[in-house]
Amino acid sequence: MGKSPVTVRNEKLANTVVAALKKRFFGAHYCETKEEAVELALSLIPEGSVVGWGGSVTVEQTGLKDRIIEKGFKVIDRDRAKSPEERMEMQRQVLLADTFLMGANAISEDGQLFNIDSTGNRVAALAFGPKQVIVMAGINKIVRSVKEAELRAQTIAGPINASRLEPKTPCLITGVCSECQAQSTLCVQFLRTRICKPEGRIQVILIGEELGF
Ligand code: SF4
């Protein structure tokens, strides 16, 4: 049986976005399945690397973290922290990791990444610190423009993350963003990554499956 129209379109879309990302000096790749994406990500991590990550449903869903642990890389895993203080210290340490793994809230068709963060550890690592950042993103994260990327990140990913993390925010109750200004807000830092500098530091792996949100 041939590929479905959705798969064919996903491939074309992903190839267009990969080309746009490369023009902006990102490393960029497309894998049809998450299993292929995991193998590719592993091949990008040099032996002996220290690897860390931010909170990412996409990275969880791929199983990449488990494979990294199995392979014996030294990891900085904040979820193993025994206290809030230790967790914060690990979030600081991860900024000096060799490789940092994360998802993306949205990627525009013209190859720009958009991410919103609460504590800021994830966008900090994306902007500076780890020698390499690997971004794993399902095809559902691609949007038409940067404007739509911001809209998606705040008004779709935001309320869904609220349902996951249960902060005291209006979107937890209503399911829609009301631009809250509470201390508990999830939407603190907004980062648009327009260009990858230095070239190739950020490796984006697009995956032909719906992952994360
Ligand atoms: S209501 Fe607040 S936390 Fe929820 S998506 Fe909007 S700004 Fe973010």
**How many A from CA of 93 to the centre of ligand 1?**
28
**How many A from CA of 116 to the centre of ligand 1?**
11
- Counting residues of the chain whose pLDDT is more than 70, the rounded percentage is 100
Do the domain assignments include residue 16? no
Do the domain assignments include residue 17? no
Q: Residue 175's domain spans which residues?
A: 26-207
Query: Which of 105, 185, 190, 213 to mutate to test ligand 1, by most ligand atoms within 8 A of the CB atom?
Result: 185
Cα–Cα distance, 167 to 11 (Å, whole number): 37
- The answer on pLDDT for 132 being more than 90 is yes
Do the domain assignments include residue 40? yes
Do the domain assignments include residue 213? no
**How many A from CA of 185 to the centre of ligand 1?**
6
Q: What pLDDT sits at residue 136?
A: 98
Residue of minimum CA distance from atom 2 in ligand 1: 180
Do the domain assignments include residue 167? yes
Query: Which of 165, 169, 181 to mutate to test ligand 1, by most ligand atoms within 8 A of the CB atom?
Result: 169
**DSSP class per residue in 66-110:** HHHHHTT-EEE-GGG-SSHHHHHHHHHHGGG-SEEEE--SEEETT
Query: Which of 186, 188, 190 to mutate to test ligand 1, by most ligand atoms within 8 A of the CB atom?
Result: 186
Do the domain assignments include residue 156? yes
Q: What pLDDT sits at residue 64?
A: 97
Average pLDDT over residues 9-32: 97
Do the domain assignments include residue 138? yes
Q: What pLDDT sits at residue 9?
A: 95
Q: How many domains does one find in the chain?
A: 1
Average pLDDT over residues 7-34: 97
Q: What pLDDT sits at residue 156?
A: 94
Residue type present at position 203: Q
pLDDT-based confidence at 36, cuts 50/70/90? very high
Residue of minimum CA distance from atom 7 in ligand 1: 179
Q: What pLDDT sits at residue 143?
A: 98
Atom of ligand 1 nearest to the CA of 155: 5
Report CA-CA distances (Å) from 1 to 4, 5, 7, 12, 112.
9, 12, 13, 19, 35
pLDDT-based confidence at 1, cuts 50/70/90? confident
Average pLDDT over residues 166-188: 95
CATH number at residue 45: 3.40.50
pLDDT-based confidence at 2, cuts 50/70/90? confident
Q: List, chain by chain if needed, residues with CB within 6 Å of any ligand 1 atom.
A: 154, 158-159, 162, 169-171, 177-180, 185-187
pTM of the full predicted structure?
0.96
Q: Are 137 and 204 in contact (CB under 8 A)?
A: yes
- The answer on pLDDT for 198 being more than 90 is yes
Do the domain assignments include residue 6? no
48-64 confidence digits (pLDDT tens)? 999 999 889 999 999 99
